[in-house]
Amino acid sequence: MIMGTKGAGISTQIKKLCEKYKLEELCLKEAFTAKMAEEKEKRARTKLLSNGFKAPVIDEEGNPVPEEEGEDEEFDKEAHEKELMKMILDSN
């Protein structure tokens, strides 16, 4: 694992090491962010399907009131992030 500040040449060093030792580069930040977005979308779809269709709530001006977005109260974000990181590392 190589870490450092922006502009320190980390990407260059990683590319050189990967070329020299014929390694595949693993970008945890990108993989983790993408997996988080994918899982959040899955949870949103599951929640929508489990709730079924509900008529939109209309305010006094006749405009639809957007539904609150967010996670269920029983959702454990820290445990979920650990599970995602394990999935990412196990797949590489």
Question: What is the SS3 assignment for the chain?
Answer: CCCCCCCCCHHHHHHHHHHHHCCCCCCHHHHHHHHHHHHHHHHHHHHHHHHCCCCCCECCCCCECCCCCCCCCCCCHHHHHHHHHHHHHHHC
More confident site: 67 or 84: 84
Q: Which residues pair with 64 in a beta bridge?
A: 58
Place of tokens 């030792």: 21
Q: How far apart are the first and last CA of the chain?
A: 14
5, part of any domain: no
| Residue span of the structural domain in which 41 resides | 26-54+71-92
Per-residue pLDDT, 20:
95
* 18 found inside a domain: no
Q: Kindly report the pTM of this predicted structure.
A: 0.47
pLDDT for residue 75? 78
In a domain, 31, yes or no: yes
Q: What percent of the chain has pLDDT over 90?
A: 17
In a domain, 17, yes or no: no
